[in-house]
Chain A
Amino acid sequence: MDPLLQITDLVVQAAGRRGPVNLVDGVTLQVRPGEIVGLVGESGCGKSMTASAIMQLFPTTAVSIAGGSIHLRDAGRLDAMSARELRAVRGARIGMIFQDPSTYLDPLMTIGRQVAEGLRSHGVAGDHRAAVARLLGQMGLPDPEQLLRRYPHELSGGQRQRVLIAAALALEPDLLIADEPTTALDVTVQSEILALLRDLRERMGLSILFITHDFGVVAEMCDRVYVMYAGRVAERRDIVDVFANPRHPYTIGLLRGTLSPSARPDELFAIPGAVPDPRSMPSGCRFNTRCPIAVDRCRAEQPPLVEVPGGAAACWRTDDPELATAWTDQPVPREVSDGA
């Protein structure tokens, strides 16, 4: 089946003081209908930029798409659309929710009006109150009729996020882009919101592109995951495979350093060093400066994504048996290099 969303070789560039800088440098990913796909990585890896590129909602005009394509099924190339065409797509085909619910709700407008806005601007006629109330109820909000007249400040963080999800899904889009939607919420509330999103996928056949830095959330939500590093995809795998048998040293390191309440780690593991500055990326594989098993080829040539069971990994040594023990016996230095 054709993917719902296909991003191919995407390059997102920022105009810098000393020349342009690629924040996303050749990312290919796809979301199939009914899938929850995770886009995971640390700060600066480009995951949020990739998501922003889909609907061209960049934070400043200094950032733009400089290469590649973004294709939405039955709509065409999103990156080539005019502002008017994009407005038609936003809301109707693609919905988006973000990290901090408070900043995305107008404090001076009632909940009912804000959720109805999307309906109105897309020309849906009639009294929206009933539709909005029903929608809010579907999102698990109690007493939806009452809620229509309330203002955002009267709601809790979790309730606000549910309202935003309702607004994002008001026109029943096929795809929901969720950029760290639960990071700012309490953990018990997060659990509810994640359950709601999974439920919506079941009920509505909604596809979700889920951006996060939390591997626990990834494990709970996603069918497949793309691990990003320094503007590129390091690994894309099916969910069970990536946790059971990660095939990129960065993924292995991240998983090893992930803390869980289930068990105390033997030692506090941390990948040494830090993400490189986008203006001065290392040559070859971008992870080579921090990789414990880097060899000359890694410093010379950027590895392509090669097929591995359940997906692909961008590592010259992904088939090498040494990969599995890459991080053991690695002393973690106290000192941090300039870039850390």
Chain B
Amino acid sequence: MTAVDPVTMPAAEAVGAGRPNSFGEFWYRFTRSKAAVIALAFVVLMVIVAIIAPLIQSSDPFSGSSQSLAPPLTDGHLLGTDNLGRDVYSQLVNGSRVSLLIGFSVAIVGTLIGVVVGATAGFFGGWVDAVLMRISEFFQTLPRFVLALIIIALFGSGLSKLIFVLAILSWPQTARVVRAGFASLRSAGFVDAARVSGMPKRAIIVREILPNVLASVIVVGSLDVAGAILIAAALSFFGLGDPNLVSWGGMLQQAQLYLTQAWWMAVFPGVAIALVVLAFNLVGDGLNDALNPRLRDGR
């Protein structure tokens, strides 16, 4: 019953804006945050580094040399070597592959599960919702780290097991967000209109409601990546990572005994982890601001 035209900002945006360029709009809003843009650039850089790692490494990360514990800027070893003479720079560059692979895999798998569960729970409500939410709560209350430890202790370490464990622990977050979105949009006018237009329920879920919820899903997904990278590094640090792969966490584990002698063994992978996690968080924030437009300060 309210005659609401919120402020007149939308009026100023409306009319005369031409064809809606939804990506252009999104990009404009995203780029308003310098931090988000820089973070995105960093992420892209990391992805490129991970892809071309073998091409830019200066030596085989696994082969040691006689030059052990060489400091950075030693000839041929930009960032120094570790206790076995392995080049730190090469390990760093290769380690990015594992980190990003884990991060993205976990986020994708977790998101897929979360969307299916959340959409079902949110759209149908009732006992379906109650049951699914109890299940998701159960998974949420499991302490991630401890569970990972247990599973790896029981079944051995390995990349795919690691991804599996982290994924089943991260889907509840997405599910909650999706469920909330569906529950609120389920009674929106356009959903009723879609029903009256003859759209079957399945199509309504996927083509009417889901696109409106995706924005939140993407934001949670980017945070999932950051979280997964962090936990994976922690697990490797405890020696539960895959020993056949170079990883930043593994580097940190090696570095423990040499902290005072060879600071470069710990600092570089540590900074790398921190920066990547920070970058994904900032990208997530930027995506949130860009995808959920509200009346904001300053235009």
The answer for the CA separation of A44 and B296 in the assembled complex, in Å, is: 19
Asked whether B15 lies within 8 Å of A277 as measured between CB atoms, the reply is yes
- Evaluate contact between B8 and A278: CB separation under 8 angstroms: yes
Q: Does A183 contact B (CB under 8 A)?
A: yes
Could you say which of B1, B8, B15, B295 contacts A183, with CB atoms under 8 Å apart?
A: B1
Which residues 1-49 of B sit at the A interface, judged by CB distance below 8 A? 1-9, 11-16
Contacts across chains A and B counted by CB atoms under 8 Å: 64
Contact with B along A49-83 (1 / 0, CB 8 A): 10000000001111100000000000000000000
Determine the main DSSP class of A at the interface with B.
loop
Tell me whether B2 and A62 are in contact (CB under 8 A).
Answer: no
**Docked pose: A3 CA to B4 CA in angstroms:** 31
Q: How far is the CA of A46 from the CA of B299 in the complex (A)?
A: 20
Q: How far apart are the CA atoms of A46 and B12 in the complex, in Å?
A: 13
| Selected interface stretch from A9-17, A169-177, A258-266 | A9-17
Given contacts A15-B298, A23-B8, A44-B8, whether A280 and B1 have CB atoms under 8 Å apart is no
Is there contact, CB below 8 Å, between B8 and A14?
yes
Picked from B2, B9, B295, the residue with its CB within 8 Å of the CB of A184 is B2
| Residues 139-159 (chain B) with a chain A CB within 8 angstroms | none
Quick one: closest A residue to B3, CB to CB? Answer: A213
Interface string of B288-299 (1 = CB under 8 A from A): 000000011111
Q: Is residue A117 contacting chain B, with contact meaning CB distance below 8 A?
A: no
Whether A280 touches B8, Cβ cut-off 8 Å, given contacts A43-B3, A62-B298, is no
A: interface residue count bin: 20 to 34
- B16, closest chain A residue (CB): A277
- Does residue A87 face the partner (Cβ distance < 8 Å to B)? no
Docked-complex contact A14 and B9, CB < 8 angstroms: yes
Residues of chain A with a CB closer than 8 A to B15's CB = 277, 338-339
Specify which chain A residues have a CB less than 8 angstroms from the CB of B8 in the assembled complex. 14, 23, 43-44, 46, 49, 278
A122 within 8 A of partner (CB): no
Residues of A within 8 A of B12 (CB): 14, 16, 21, 277-279
Given known A-B contacts A21-B12, A278-B12, A339-B15, A16 and B3 have beta carbons under 8 A apart: no
Known: A21-B12, A277-B15. A184 touches B297 (CB 8 A): no
A238 at the interface (CB under 8 A from B): no
Asked if A100 is at the interface of the complex by the 8 Å CB criterion, the answer is yes
Please state if B14 and A60 are interface contacts (CB–CB under 8 Å): no
Interface centre among B3, B13, B16 (most CB of A within 10 A): B3
Whether A63 contacts B7 in the complex (CB less than 8 A), given A14-B12, A277-B16, A338-B16, comes out as yes
The answer to whether A278 and B11 touch across the interface, beta carbons within 8 angstroms, is yes
A186 and chain B: residue at smallest CB distance: B1
Do A60 and B2 touch across chains, with their CB atoms under 8 A apart? no
Contacts of A14 in B (CB 8 A): 7-9, 12
From A60, A63, A100, A339, name the one whose CB has the most chain B CB atoms within 10 angstroms: A60
Contact flags (1/0) for A317-340 with B, using CB distance below 8 Å?
000000000000000000000110
Q: Is A99 close to B, CB under 8 A?
A: yes
Q: How far does the Cβ of B109 sit from chain A's closest Cβ, in whole Å?
A: 38
Within 8 A of B (CB), among A264-287: 277-280
CB-based contact A17/B1 at 8 Å: no
Q: Which of A186-218 contact B (CB under 8 A)?
A: 213
Give A259 Cβ to nearest chain B Cβ, in Å: 15
Q: Which 9 A-B pairs have the closest CB atoms?
A: A43-B5, A61-B297, A59-B7, A44-B8, A277-B15, A184-B2, A17-B299, A44-B11, A60-B295
A sample of 8 cross-chain residue pairs with beta-carbon separation below 8 angstroms, ordered by A number, consists of A14-B7, A43-B11, A44-B8, A60-B7, A61-B297, A184-B1, A280-B16, A339-B15
